[in-house]
């Protein structure tokens, strides 16, 4: 044989052999290595998976009454992916759907478009790959038309789905505390394992705020699935496999619906009365805490809103109303995020600070109409000269000048303007011991820490604002001068001082701090926590709303305990002295008018008024209280922004809450022998009437 021919045959044999080996290797890979995957793909060609939603757990009050639950609704949803496959992008389907639902094509288009930075509501904030609800309370006849004429409505489903409702037992909405639900986003689906989507149910919705957000994992449950067999036309021929969903657990809270309802009612009535009296009264809060445990009994915030606005898509107008300054941001809880100077309610901290600095608890101190701090006169309320008094009377009559003197002398003792940065400041240290200027640790996803200013904060603030201050020191405020020359001149003088020495902790800063004014910022939650510690003998609790997570059958999954309370570094004798003094405030002190006719024999209440000045706004109204005085069980605080005097606006709000809890001669009390229920209440069925 020709050698060249022989060589060519050999090469051909090698090539054929190599091709056969590659083919065999590929077959082995397909059948052995990837056999299960391809078998699964083949099975999927004849099966379809249907997500079976888990029922979201309820949020219950301390007696088992639902604050948030579910109800069944006929929901019509649209699959954007299915519509996109159609020649006209699904426009004809949406037009037919709009006619059946009695709405417009434009309205449905708005609901099915994806949200973005420039897209107005309504729009879809969830994943683009899940069905989008366009009607959440569908007429059964309309839903029947859609189900019977599937060929006319490809990509449209009509199913019974659970929707979240907030029944408001006894008028208790507590919307800022409960929070709200929103569709899950594509990013969240990627981050959170085990979340399946159905189109519109408690499985797809996630908590965005409040307790719904804080305890979302427990409330959510675990979705099930049903794998159905289908023929070549997509018709179901049987069930291949199914897994039942695991319902979400219920959250039992310490909120009492009756007390919550009473607090919301009293707060709104107080704000309405302040407005009728000429005060702007733009927002407020009322909060009730169990002083022995730190459990929250009521958390009322104003302005409020209807949580049903989130269901089925929200319009741009309603969305703007929730977020805009025009309506004072009703989404914000004024209990946990509403900050302001607390005024004279802060003096309980300042008394403890004075004793800490060496002043005599039983001493006598002069209360002149004004006290000179440098070249500036710091005045009592209405410049009243009240003469010599003890600290008991200073709290009852709310003398400011005694506390100005304490703070000024402490400031000079530390070195005045030349004090070292690490100089001890009893006023600041004691305030922080009371929990002011730091997060309380409440079981909610959003909270403000407030502010207790000191020399370090003053310098940091000056460094951040000095450029603006120096600019205004030169140019003034020409726009303000056009309408208010006196204010413009004052602002220019302040800007000049801040530019030159705004970093200095001045005597005036210390004086303002002592009476809860100036740059002091406190939340109602921080204040009620501080008064609870004063009332219970010095235990500073971490506030808690959640009591237990329980299964639908009532068995307890876990109890929600708070960390051990910290101890106020304040002598028991000092705390007892202040409790005794505050007990006289509603009797003969600054709150005597607000509590005129109040049955102090039914429940003896101690408290303190606070009227805090804020530049460019009306006074901030506060009242902080605890009771019964001899064996304190609860602390109640009310705050109204731009509400005027503490005794005039907040005092009556707190009084109404105490009367609702303990009753009057004409009204049955909410409390049983002055106590709320303890332990985990009996679980109601889903959908049960509150």
In total, the chain counts a number of residues equal to 690
What confidence category does residue 688 fall into, taking pLDDT thresholds of 50, 70 and 90? Answer: very low
Asked if residues 359 and 350 have their Cβ atoms less than 8 Å apart, the reply is no
Distance in angstroms (rounded) separating the CA atoms of residues 421 and 418: 9
CATH of 257-336+563-662, one of 1.20.1090.10, 3.30.450.330, 3.60.15.10, 3.80.10.10: 3.30.450.330
The answer to whether residue 200 scores a pLDDT higher than 60 is no
Residue 669, token pair as written in the block: 């009390």
Q: What is the mean pLDDT of residues 447-473?
A: 94
What would the mean pLDDT of 338-360 be, rounded to a whole number?
A: 98
Please tell me which residue, 680 or 567, carries the higher pLDDT value: 567
pLDDT digits (tens, 9 = 90+) for 239-290: 777 788 888 999 999 999 999 999 999 999 999 999 999 999 999 999 999 9
* Mean pLDDT for the stretch of residues 19-38: 73
Model confidence at 302: pLDDT above 90 = yes
Least confident of 244-258, 323-337, 449-463, 466-480: 323-337
Closest to 655 in 3D by CA, of 364, 72, 263: 263
Per-residue confidence at 328, pLDDT binned at 50, 70, 90? Answer: confident
The confidence score (pLDDT) of residue 85 equals: 80
What is the token pair recorded at 584?
């006289």
Cα(369)–Cα(119) distance, integer angstroms: 59
First-to-final CA distance of the chain: 102
Percent of the chain with pLDDT over 90: 57
Written as six digits, the tokens of 119 are 């897209």
Query: Considering the chain, what is the average pLDDT of its residues?
Result: 88
Label residue 281 left, alpha or beta by phi (over 0 means left) and psi (-120 to 50 means alpha). left
* Residue 547 banded pLDDT, cuts 50, 70, 90: very high
Report the SS3 class of residue 437: coil
Say whether pLDDT at 30 is over 60: yes
**47-253 has which CATH code?**
3.90.1310.10
Per-residue burial over 130-155, b = 16 or more CB atoms within 10 Å of its CB, e = otherwise: bbbbbbbebeeebbebbeeeeeebeb
The yes-or-no verdict on residue 31 having pLDDT over 80 is no
The 10 Å Cβ neighbour count of residue 277 is: 12
Of the pLDDT bands very low, low, confident and very high (cuts 50, 70, 90), residue 40 is low
- Check: CB of residue 417 under 8 Å from CB of residue 504: yes
pLDDT tops 90 at residue 210: yes
Range with the poorest average pLDDT among 165-179, 210-224, 349-363, 524-538 = 210-224
Q: Which of 51-60, 148-157, 190-199, 463-472 ranks highest by mean pLDDT?
A: 463-472
pLDDT at 129 > cutoff 70 = no
pLDDT value at position 454?
Answer: 95
Least confident of 69-78, 328-337, 347-356, 637-646: 69-78
Q: What is the pLDDT of residue 690?
A: 38
Name the band, by pLDDT with cuts 50, 70 and 90, for residue 14: confident
Indicate the pLDDT class of residue 231, thresholds 50, 70 and 90: low
Domain ranges of the chain: 47-253, 257-336+563-662, 455-504
Q: What is the rounded distance in angstroms from the CA atom of residue 384 to the CA atom of residue 401? A: 10
Give SS3 for 225. strand
pLDDT of 531 > 80? The answer is: yes
Q: Average of pLDDT values for 6-20?
A: 75
Residue 470 has pLDDT above 60, yes or no: yes
Q: Centre a 10 Å sphere on the Cβ of residue 324 and count the other Cβ atoms it contains.
A: 11
Cβ(72)–Cβ(136) under 8 Å?
no
Q: Of 109 and 253, which is predicted with more confidence?
A: 253
Residues 6+ away with beta carbon under 8 Å from 537: 572, 575
pLDDT value of position 689: 40
Instruction: Please give the pLDDT value at position 32.
Output: 74
Asked if residue 93 lies in contact with residue 201, where contact means CB atoms within 8 angstroms, the answer is no
| 637-655: average pLDDT | 97
SS (H, E, C) 519-557: CCEECHHHHHHHHHHHHHCCEECCCECEEEEECCCCCEE
Q: 257-336+563-662: same fold as 47-253?
A: no
Distance, CA of 474 to CA of 499 (rounded, Å): 10
Name beta bridge partners: 370. 379
387-441 pLDDT tens trace: 999 999 999 999 999 999 999 999 999 999 988 878 889 999 999 999 999 999 9
């Amino acid at each position: 044989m020709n050698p060249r021919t022989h060589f060519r045959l050999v090469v051909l044999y090698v090539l054929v052999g190599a091709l056969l080996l590659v083919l065999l290797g590929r077959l082995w890979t397909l059948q052995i290595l990837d056999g299960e995957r391809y078998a699964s793909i083949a099975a999927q060609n004849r099966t379809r998976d249907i997500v079976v939603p888990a029922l979201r757990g309820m949020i219950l009050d301390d007696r088992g009454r639902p604050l948030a639950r579910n109800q069944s609704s006929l929901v019509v949803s649209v699959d954007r992916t299915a519509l996109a496959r159609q020649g006209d992008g699904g426009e004809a389907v949406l037009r037919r759907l709009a006619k059946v639902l009695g709405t417009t094509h434009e309205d449905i288009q708005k609901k099915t478009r994806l949200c973005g930075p420039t897209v107005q509501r309504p729009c879809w904030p969830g994943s683009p790959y899940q069905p989008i609800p366009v009607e959440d309370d569908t007429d059964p006849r309309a839903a029947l038309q859609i189900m019977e004429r599937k060929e006319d409505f490809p990509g449209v489903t009509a199913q019974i789905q659970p929707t979240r409702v907030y029944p408001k037992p006894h008028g208790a909405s507590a919307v800022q505390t409960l929070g709200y639900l929103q569709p899950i986003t594509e990013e969240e689906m990627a981050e959170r394992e085990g979340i399946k989507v159905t189109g519109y149910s408690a499985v797809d919705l996630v908590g965005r705020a409040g307790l719904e957000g804080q305890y979302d994992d427990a409330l959510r449950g675990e979705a099930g699935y049903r794998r159905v067999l289908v023929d070549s036309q997509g018709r179901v021929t049987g069930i291949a496999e199914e897994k039942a969903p695991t319902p979400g657990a219920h959250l039992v809270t310490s909120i009492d619906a009756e007390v919550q309802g009473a607090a919301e009612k009293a707060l709104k009535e107080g704000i309405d009365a302040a407005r009728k009296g000429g005060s702007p009264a733009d927002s407020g809060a009322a909060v009730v805490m169990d002083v022995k445990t730190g459990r929250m009994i009521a958390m009322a915030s104003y302005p409020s809103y209807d949580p049903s606005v989130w269901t089925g898509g929200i319009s741009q107008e309603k969305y703007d109303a929730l977020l805009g300054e025009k309506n004072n941001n009703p989404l914000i809880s004024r209990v946990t995020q509403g900050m302001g100077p607390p005024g004279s309610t802060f003096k309980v901290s300042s008394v403890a600070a004075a004793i800490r600095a060496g002043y005599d608890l039983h001493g006598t101190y002069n209360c002149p109409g004004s006290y000179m701090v440098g070249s500036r006169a710091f005045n009592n309320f209405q410049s009243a000269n009240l003469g010599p008094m003890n600290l008991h009377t200073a709290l009852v009559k709310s003398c400011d000048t005694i506390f100005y003197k304490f703070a000024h002398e402490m400031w000079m003792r530390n070195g005045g303007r030349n004090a070292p940065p690490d100089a001890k400041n009893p006023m600041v240290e004691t305030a922080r011991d009371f929990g002011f200027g730091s997060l309380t640790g409440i079981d909610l996803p959003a909270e403000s820490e407030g502010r207790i200013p000191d020399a370090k904060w003053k310098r940091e603030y000056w460094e951040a604002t000095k450029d603006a201050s120096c600019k205004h020191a030169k140019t003034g405020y020409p726009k303000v001068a056009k309408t208010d020359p006196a204010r413009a001149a004052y602002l220019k003088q302040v800007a000049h001082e801040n530019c030159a020495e705004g970093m200095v902790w001045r005597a005036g800063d210390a004086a303002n701090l002592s009476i809860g004014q100036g740059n002091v910022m406190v939340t109602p939650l921080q204040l009620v926590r501080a008064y609870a510690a004063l009332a219970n003998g010095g235990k500073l609790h971490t506030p808690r709303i959640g009591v237990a997570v329980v299964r639908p059958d009532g068995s307890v999954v876990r109890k929600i305990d708070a960390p051990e309370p910290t101890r106020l570094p304040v002598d028991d004798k000092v705390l007892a002295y202040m409790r005794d003094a505050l007990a006289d405030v509603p009797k003969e002190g600054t709150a005597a008018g607000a509590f005129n006719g109040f049955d102090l024999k039914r429940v003896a209440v101690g408290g303190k008024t606070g009227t805090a000045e804020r530049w460019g706004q009306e006074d901030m109204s506060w009242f902080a209280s605890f009771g019964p005085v001899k064996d304190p069980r609860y602390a109640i605080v009310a705050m109204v922004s731009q509400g005027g005097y503490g005794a005039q606006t907040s005092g009556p709000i707190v009084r109404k809450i105490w009367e609702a809890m303990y009753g009057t001669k004409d009204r049955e009390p909410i409390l049983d022998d002055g106590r709320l229920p303890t332990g985990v209440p009996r679980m109601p069925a889903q959908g049960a009437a509150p």
